[in-house]
């Protein structure tokens, strides 16, 4: 009995301290787009720093690799979003996927940059 009461009181405290921020799906989609754009800008900044340290042959190879990565990223994320069959969540799913893959690629590019 005491255990249930203690759990109930704890849940009540948690509920009082948690700020609930209700959003529409349209707002969540827009927020996801903004966070993806931020990640993409960061990737481009790291990419430019890396390119500045490469030979012409290395630049060419990286450019080809990056173009291939972009095609794969966009294809994979489009497939993931298509699972929602054009539903209102599809844009958010797409942007979240793009952001996740972009953050991972930025980490890879940073590792390459550290190796220079």
What average pLDDT does the segment 93-104 reach?
A: 98
Alpha carbons 72 and 75: distance in angstroms, whole number: 5
What average pLDDT does the segment 83-98 reach?
A: 95
First to last CA, the chain: 64
Whole-number percent of the chain with pLDDT over 90: 76
Q: What is the mean pLDDT of the chain?
A: 88
Predicted pLDDT at 116: 85
Q: What is the pLDDT of residues 101-113, one digit of tens each?
A: 999 999 999 999 9
CA–centroid distance for 116 within its chain: 26
Predicted pLDDT at 22: 64
Residue 1 has pLDDT above 60, yes or no: no
Predicted pLDDT at 62: 98
Average the pLDDT over each of 20-29, 35-44, 66-75 and give the range with the smallest value: 20-29
Predicted pLDDT at 12: 52
- Write down the H helix ranges in the chain: 2-17, 25-51, 56-82, 90-114
Predicted pLDDT at 14: 44
Alpha carbons 47 and 34: distance in angstroms, whole number: 20
Whole-number percent of the chain with pLDDT over 70: 82
Residue ranges of domains in the chain:
24-114
Tell which CATH classification among 1.20.1270.180, 1.20.1250.20, 1.10.1420.10, 1.10.357.10 matches the domain 24-114: 1.20.1270.180
């Amino acid at each position: 009995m005491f255990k249930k009461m203690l759990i109930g009181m704890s849940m009540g405290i948690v509920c009082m301290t948690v700020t609930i921020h209700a959003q529409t799906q349209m707002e969540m989609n827009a927020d996801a787009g903004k966070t993806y754009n931020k990640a993409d800008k960061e990737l481009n900044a790291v990419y430019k720093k890396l390119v500045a340290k490469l030979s012409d042959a290395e630049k060419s190879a990286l450019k080809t690799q990056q173009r291939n990565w972009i095609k794969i990223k966009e294809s994979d994320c489009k497939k993931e979003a298509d699972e929602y069959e054009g539903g209102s969540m599809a844009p958010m799913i797409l942007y979240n996927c793009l952001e996740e893959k972009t953050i991972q690629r930025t980490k890879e590019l940073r590792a390459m940059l550290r190796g220079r």
